[in-house]
């Protein structure tokens, strides 16, 4: 025989689960729309947020990035500044190039098979 108290307990528990799932769904959907909104904001930012003459370069994880840095800096216009990340799975370096020629040097650097990507350094913050 089911006691009336048990019925209320299980109904309350079910209601609580429904509220929790609804809240999580709302948070996830808000997160997706915020992400889309943030991407739209980032893509519409003017070039003034880009740091002139600076590139960020990510190396392929299976590459000898130290040798790649030496190879890249053989070009007298490419200067290695410092490593931003240096772990087994992620190597990212900071370089300087001539101001106004960032796109040219991005294309040049990305031709190296040990480079995953290169992009102009940008100002930003974590809010």
* CA 122 – CA 50 distance, rounded (Å): 4
Residue 41's pLDDT is 36
* Same domain, residue pair 55 and 77: yes
* Same domain, residue pair 76 and 88: yes
Give the pLDDT mean for 110-122: 95
Give me the number of domains the chain comprises: 2
What pTM value is reported for the model? 0.61
Do the domain assignments include residue 127? no
Widest Cα–Cα separation across the chain:
87
Which structural domain, as residue segments, surrounds residue 114?
Answer: 47-122
CATH number at residue 52: 3.30.70.60
For 10, the 3-state DSSP assignment is helix
Least confident of 27-31, 52-56, 95-99: 27-31
* Same domain, residue pair 74 and 30: no
**Residue 88: other Cβ atoms inside 10 A:** 6
* Same domain, residue pair 11 and 52: no
Which of residues 126 and 120 earns the better pLDDT score? 120
**pLDDT tier at 119, thresholds 50, 70, 90:** very high
């Amino acid at each position: 025989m089911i006691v009336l108290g048990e019925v209320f307990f299980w109904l309350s528990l079910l209601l609580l689960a429904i509220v929790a799932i609804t809240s999580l769904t709302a948070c996830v959907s808000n997160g997706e729309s915020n992400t889309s909104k943030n991407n739209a904001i980032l893509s519409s930012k003017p070039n003034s947020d880009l740091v002139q003459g600076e590139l960020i370069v990510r190396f392929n994880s299976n590459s000898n990035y130290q040798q790649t840095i030496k190879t890249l800096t053989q070009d007298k216009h490419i200067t290695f500044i410092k490593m931003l990340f240096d772990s087994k799975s992620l190597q990212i370096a900071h370089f300087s190039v001539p101001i106004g020629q960032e796109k040219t040097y991005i294309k040049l650097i990305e031709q190296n098979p040990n480079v995953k990507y290169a992009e102009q350094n940008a100002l930003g913050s974590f809010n």
